[in-house]
Structure 1
Amino acid sequence: MPRSLARRGFLGAAAALGAAALTAPLTAGAAHAAAPGGRWPTRFALPRGFQPEGVAIGHSPYAYFGSLADGAVYRASLASGEGRIIHQGLGTDRSTVGLKIDRAERRLFLAGGWSREIRVVDPRSGALLRNFTGLGADTTMVNDVVLTPGAAWFTDSFQPQLYRLALDVTGEPGHAIETVPLGGDWVQGADFTANGIERTPDGRALLVVNCAKDGGSLMRVDPRSGQARTVDLGDLRIPAGDGLLLLGRELYIVQQQKNQIDVVRLDAAGTRGTAIARITDPERFCVPTTAAVWGDRIYLPNARFGLDEDPAAVDYDVVSVPRV
């Protein structure tokens, strides 16, 4: 089985097994159906066969999407929904999974998936600025990325470690990748384990989805030591947890195969959180994977994992929902 299909199959099974793990419902009235509104489109198309996974939005109203098919990057106007491919990618098996844009909007940081690469791309010209290759082990999948003031951090879904790319005061990346082993409460599953990554509200630690631990958990990782501690989310489990989006103290956890976003209010240190809302949209959610924000809207690409016999022949789209 191709590795990309193995990833999708595992996540589908994890979602099914984990459905019963949510032992207590969210508070009454906390379920919110997404409703379109405003003048900007709340749904727009991506190129046929694009196979999106990651999304990034900076301080301008443009979204960037990465392609699992060939690593291309598509830039779309949020005002019109129109866009174009700005980075052609490096070909089959050179995916772009998660991606982030820096504050200056001068660099896109791309997680290279199964190619075991980390790439840096100019969002204006599409030029490849840096490419770090040969990361991890043969089974490594570089999955998601978050930017902090001093580094870009990447998850590895099949190895118990993070990758750190140092950034100087101007945001310029260094020339080497540091591997940070994960310890403490971290449990590495037999298959796909780490997924989305974010910062804690106080900025002192990292938050990482662990799909294998206790039916799906959120982990707080000390960036200096790699020691992980389980975040207390009460009865909430995140077996299909994918992208994370932190807005103040509210963490949006995209649960892809479950077609929902769980919203958690964290304490400042990110050690515990309370589930406050669940966003669902049965008519428009088709396995959304990651989330980015512009104004009062959250934008998500529909990855459609496991829904199509030939992903290369499918019309993909992006949807937006209101912030809680």
Structure 2
Amino acid sequence: MTRKPTRPSPFLRPSRRALLGGAAVAACSAWAAADPAHAGGRRPSWPTEFPLPDGWLPEGIAIGRAPYAYMGSRADGAVYRTDLRTGEGRVLHEGAPGLAAIGLELGDDGLLYVSGGAGGTARLVDARTGTLRKTYRLTDSTGHFVNDVVLLRDRAWFTDSFDAVLYGVPRGRGGRVRTLRLGGDWEQTPDVINANGIVSTPDGRDVIVVRSTLGVLYRVSLRTGHATRIALSGAADVAAGDGLVRVGRTLYVVQNRLNVVAVFDLDARATRAVLRRTVMDPRFDVPATAARFGNRLYLVNARFTSPQTPETTFNAVAVPL
């Protein structure tokens, strides 16, 4: 058993991120607690569940090449780091009142790119020391929610759930933030969560964005902002779609309030997606986002339907790919 962590920083009320629910799709994958690093059972299995501090309000998770998970706090923008081999963790980056850490992505440059939610910021945090390296203000007006992020070539691309734009934050020493307005098939609905999770396309040229409330996936051109709706097989949809993970041409869509991960096969151009199976687990409690390490998918339980208090418990769980 891992020692239950404590939460030293003050609790703040959570930011808005409500999504519409719906009926869960049928098929369910079997659970297997395979060790992602060592086959054959020669060593003890890595934990398949580990705790976060009480009142943490997690939503985003990022994992790089090393076996460490980084999870942000909606309460105050702090970042918690857990060793996947042991389940033990600590607060890596202290937050502050008025901040939030929604989506996270870890780059090969050793920086965490952190979405700032209603604060309209993107923060760069040193993944080794927890030091804040830089803050970008993506918007100066209210009515925005910087939600999720993906790293692609020389930029980190952030979604805005309340505006039809993507923000391209430069990676490296120079450059300016690029605001890319969405067009084509994209239709913005007022006062609901629109753009949410984001990943790169299999060809590495563009991005895939999920529009949560209506359960739609789009391929978005990073050159023009033109959004092309991805055709889903049969009656499949991605209602309550939140975090996205892509492994080759397999796309994992976390449907938070449905407690489901939908697994799609993409075509080469990412214009069609065939639903192959769904993943359910009794430990899911409104999982928000996911990250891959080895043959596992790690998900944080945001528990949006539970009381969001300083005493509310939170955790992350692992399921096999």
Match of 2:82 among 76, 88, 96: 76
- Looking at secondary structure, tell me which structure has more helix per residue: 1
Q: CA RMSD in A?
A: 1.7
- Contact 2:124–2:134 under 8 Å retained in 1: yes
Task: Verify: 1:45 aligned to 2:47, yes or no.
Answer: no
Q: 1:240 is matched by which residue type in structure 2?
A: A
Q: Given the superposition, is the C-alpha separation of residues 274 and 173 from structure 1 closer, same or farther in structure 2, using an over 3 Å criterion?
A: farther
Q: CA deviation at 1:321?
A: 0.1
Match of 2:32 among 10, 35, 38: 35
- Contact 2:101–2:117 under 8 Å retained in 1: yes
Partners of 2:174 and 2:240 lie apart in 1 by 33
Partners of 2:58 and 2:119 lie apart in 1 by 16
Q: CA deviation at 1:250?
A: 0.3
Q: 1:88 is matched by which residue type in structure 2?
A: E
Q: CA deviation at 1:3?
A: 8.7
Task: Verify: 1:99 aligned to 2:104, yes or no.
Answer: yes
Q: Given the superposition, is the C-alpha separation of residues 184 and 269 from structure 1 closer, same or farther in structure 2, using an over 3 Å criterion?
A: same
Cα offsets for 1:178-218 (capped at 9, x unmatched): 11000000011122111000011111111001124xx3100
Provide TM-score, normalisation by structure 1. 0.88
Provide TM-score, normalisation by structure 2. 0.89
Matches for 1:273-284 after TM superposition, within 5 Å: 273-281=273-281, 283-284=282-283
Q: 1:135 is matched by which residue type in structure 2?
A: T
Q: 1:193 is matched by which residue type in structure 2?
A: N
Partners of 1:5 and 1:64 lie apart in 2 by 19
Matches for 1:122-271 after TM superposition, within 5 Å: 122-133=126-137, 135=139, 137-167=141-171, 172=172, 174-190=174-190, 191-212=192-213, 215-234=214-233, 235-271=235-271
- Contact 2:302–2:314 under 8 Å retained in 1: yes
- Contact 1:53–1:290 under 8 Å retained in 2: yes
Q: CA deviation at 1:306?
A: 2.0
Structure 2: where are the runs of 5+ without partners? Answer: 1-11, 36-44
- Contact 2:125–2:131 under 8 Å retained in 1: yes
- Contact 2:122–2:138 under 8 Å retained in 1: no
Give the SS at the match of 1:257: helix
Give the SS at the match of 1:284: coil
1:320 is matched with which residue?
318
Give the SS at the match of 2:257: coil
Cα offsets for 1:111-130 (capped at 9, x unmatched): 00011111001111111111
Partners of 1:247 and 1:238 lie apart in 2 by 18
Partners of 2:131 and 2:210 lie apart in 1 by 31
Q: 1:322 is matched by which residue type in structure 2?
A: P
Give the SS at the match of 2:176: strand
Q: CA deviation at 1:237?
A: 1.0
Q: CA deviation at 1:35?
A: 3.4
- Contact 1:51–1:312 under 8 Å retained in 2: no
Q: 1:149 is matched by which residue type in structure 2?
A: R
Partners of 1:32 and 1:173 lie apart in 2 by 45
2:298 is matched with which residue?
299
Q: Given the superposition, is the C-alpha separation of residues 42 and 243 from structure 1 closer, same or farther in structure 2, using an over 3 Å criterion?
A: same
2:288 is matched with which residue?
289
- Contact 1:165–1:173 under 8 Å retained in 2: no
Q: 1:120 is matched by which residue type in structure 2?
A: L
Q: 1:154 is matched by which residue type in structure 2?
A: F
- Contact 2:15–2:117 under 8 Å retained in 1: no
Give the SS at the match of 2:258: coil
- Contact 1:302–1:316 under 8 Å retained in 2: yes
Q: 1:287 is matched by which residue type in structure 2?
A: V
Cα offsets for 1:220-260 (capped at 9, x unmatched): 10001000010011221112000000001100000000000
